[in-house]
């Protein structure tokens, strides 16, 4: 199975950005606690609106992404993170649509 990429975009008050980043990292660790399902992540900030942060997670596969994100309310840091989020702007999982072949 191919890896799965997740993009989630949130609006966070300027004063809460650093704490939201810290809680994001805690959530990723909590998601990986039982088994490493997130193999890479980036926390991005929008260039023209620094109050928008984006998670780009790379999951081992789409099934792991689905099963783990269904447990979202049970992770210890979720409630504190959601308390900082002013608005959930986007959320989605993606798999490769094009397979590259070597030249």
Read off the pLDDT of residues 34-59 as tens digits, 9 standing for 90 and up.
Answer: 999 999 999 999 999 999 999 999 99
Beta strands in the chain (DSSP E): 4-12, 38-45, 52-59, 85-94
Pairing label, strands 52-59, 4-12: antiparallel
Sheet holding 85-94, edge to edge: 38-45, 52-59, 4-12, 85-94
The CA distance from 73 to 2, in Å, is 26
Longest dimension (CA), the chain: 49
Tokens of 2: 């191919």
Architecture field, domain 4-94: 2-Layer Sandwich (3.30)
Dump pLDDT digits (tens) for 67-95.
999 999 999 999 999 999 999 999 999 99
């Amino acid at each position: 199975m191919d890896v799965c990429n997740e993009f989630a975009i949130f609006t966070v008050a300027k004063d809460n950005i650093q704490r939201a980043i810290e809680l994001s990292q805690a959530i990723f660790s909590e998601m990986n606690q039982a088994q490493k399902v997130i193999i890479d992540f980036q926390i991005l900030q929008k260039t023209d609106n620094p109050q928008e942060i984006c998670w780009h997670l790379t999951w081992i596969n789409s099934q792991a992404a689905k099963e783990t994100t269904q447990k979202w309310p049970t992770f210890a840091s979720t409630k504190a993170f959601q308390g900082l989020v002013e608005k959930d702007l986007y959320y989605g999982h993606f798999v490769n649509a094009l397979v590259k072949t070597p030249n």
